Amino acid sequence: MTVGIVGYGAFVPRRRIKLEEIAKVWGADAPAYKRGLQLFEKSVPGADEDTVTMSVEAARNALARSGGVDPADIGALYIGSESHPYAVKPSGTIVAEAIGAVPALHVADLEFACKAGTESLFIAQALVKAGEVKYAVGIGADTSQGAPGDALEYSAAAGAAAFIFGADEDLILAEIVDTYSWTTDTPDFWRREYMHYPRHGSRFTGEPAYFRHSMNSARGMMDKAGLEPGDFAYAIFHQPNGKFPMRVGKKLGFTNEQLETGWLSPWLGNTYSGASPIGLTAVLDIASPGDLILLTSFGSGAGSDSFVIRVTGRISEVQDLAPKTREQLDENKIYLEYGAYAKLRGKIRMAE
């Protein structure tokens, strides 16, 4: 059975903060950060935006591109995030209620640092493939935070991407050709219960974590599918900053042309569980029938999911049916100063 994406959509909040604005407050060297991390600005959620609200908007955009999928036919919905609004009470129920998919469906919130988003895609497409459900929704969304002054504060951003999977040949806009995962126990990044901000193993985060897992997953995926970098039109990697995804792509043998379309972090920041899935939406926005796409996520802790995706002839019919990802990134921006940003992100504690 052929299983694929029948609808996709992204949501990016309108607020932005420039890297200089953060660096100024901490007396940091902005040009050095820009060069080192290749980050220029990042998205910031409003006080009224969270993983649930962004997931609803992304899912509605996915439904708009689905060619009339009845939400009542959605049999499963998963949201991967490390910033679910409640510690206890699912995000997925709110999203399922808002898109009209309740009550006959299976819902779960997933966690695995930054790869929780592709986890939801992985499980959703597998359930459709198994014939358990007609349609399944996988969402990656985050409004993550870095401690004030920590390196993560320059990158932690907000955004969401949603994908509806199905097996109707007429509706599939991109086929899931194959999947592969590469996972080990690696303590590169963590946040304990009740802690506001995560901690990281500093230099330990790069080589043994991000690069080792991303490269083994991508290579394992290509070996399994009998493909090599030259076969792909696009490749998307996890984007903790602007530098890592380009470096890992080049190390694997991909070119700038293959990597740039899904490379959003310099202007979006790191949207954690949303990062590589939002990159995939930006690629689908301009992809052509027949294009092969490699999607490789990374989540600390650590693991990496890979997908080989083949775009079908339906893609050109759906691209204009919802706001495109680059448009959301480039238009309607509201720039914040650090004070307004700190208030919005709860870095200033309010009296009750």
Q: Which residues of this chain interact with another protein, rule CB under 8 A?
A: 14-15, 46-50, 52-53, 56-57, 60, 85-86, 94, 97-100, 331-332, 334, 336, 340, 343, 350, 352
Residue identified by tokens 């895609």 is 121
What is the sign of the dihedral through the CA atoms of 95, 3, 119 and 8? negative
Q: Which is nearer to another protein, 21 or 57 (CB)?
A: 57
Is 21 catalytic? The answer is: no
Q: Which is nearer to another protein, 1 or 350 (CB)?
A: 350
Is 200 catalytic? The answer is: no
Q: Which is nearer to another protein, 141 or 222 (CB)?
A: 141
Please state the closest distance from residue 11 (CB atom) to another protein, in A: 9
Q: What is the DSSP string of 234-292?
A: EEEE--SSSHHHHHHHHHHT--HHHHHTT--HHHH-B-GGGHHHHHHHHHHTT--TT-E
Residues 264/239, Cβ–Cβ less than 8 Å: yes
Residues 124/35, Cβ–Cβ less than 8 Å: no
Taking the CB of residue 93, how many other CB atoms lie within 10 A of it?
Answer: 18
Amino acid identity, residue 173?
A: L
Residues 141/61, Cβ–Cβ less than 8 Å: no
Tell me the three state secondary structure of residue 313: coil
Reading the block at residue 301, the tokens are 């802790």
d(CA 151, CA 30): 12
Please state the closest distance from residue 223 (CB atom) to another protein, in A: 42
Please state the closest distance from residue 24 (CB atom) to another protein, in A: 19
Which backbone phi and psi does 344 adopt, to 5 degrees? -65, -40
The rounded Cα 96 to chain-centroid distance in angstroms is 19
Q: Which is nearer to another protein, 52 or 311 (CB)?
A: 52
Q: Which is nearer to another protein, 317 or 331 (CB)?
A: 331
Is 114 catalytic? The answer is: yes
Which entry of 41, 57, 114, 119 is annotated as an active-site residue?
114
Q: Which is nearer to another protein, 31 or 85 (CB)?
A: 85
Residues 210/200, Cβ–Cβ less than 8 Å: no
Which entry of 82, 84, 119, 153 is annotated as an active-site residue?
82
Residues 6+ apart with CB under 8 A from 336: 15, 16, 17, 21, 44, 344
Taking the CB of residue 193, how many other CB atoms lie within 10 A of it?
Answer: 5
Amino acid identity, residue 148?
A: P
Mind telling me the catalytic residues?
82, 114, 238
